[in-house]
Amino acid sequence: MNDELRTQKEEPKAAPDIHDRTFDFACRIVRLYEALRRKAGPGRAISTQLLKSGTSIGANLEEARGGQSRADFASKCCIALKEARESHYWLRIVDACGILPLQSIRPLVNEANEIVAILTTIVKRTSVR
């Protein structure tokens, strides 16, 4: 039994797939939206844009899963990529303007950047064939 436990602990966990990451990202964006809505000024306006783009990434990937063709799949992934880029942009603005404390926003900026990179790869690989 101890050997089994040791083996299980040593095995690396698989990285979360893009669907899990974008779902988690959307949940974090919803919480950020709530924090930004409490702010006066530009944070409120940005919050709405960020909520729409940040939650749309995963929604488009879910639609891509059920794509009726390879072209449909590629199209939905392209839309998800555009939404990820937009989210990254808005998050960078929140960061650069100091609308929220750096420690609360920087991890989201980094995650958005990673999601953009992953989706860029998916779109390129889908378009090549």
Sequential DSSP letters for 11-68: SPPPPPPHHHHHHHHHHHHHHHHHHHHTS-THHHHHHHHHHHHHHHHHHHHHHHHT-S
The pLDDT value given to residue 1 = 46
Mean pLDDT of the chain: 89
Could you tell me which CATH number the domain at 16-128 has?
1.20.1440.60
The pLDDT value given to residue 40 = 83
Does residue 66 have a pLDDT over 80? yes
Helix (H, G, I), strand (E, B) or coil at 106: helix
Rounded to two decimals, what is the model's pTM? 0.84
The pLDDT value given to residue 79 = 98
Q: How far apart are CA 123 and CA 81, in angstroms?
A: 8
In percent, how much of the chain has pLDDT > 70? 87
Mean pLDDT of 106-111: 96
- What is the CB neighbour count within 10 angstroms for residue 115? 25
Does residue 4 have a pLDDT over 70? no
The pLDDT value given to residue 128 = 60
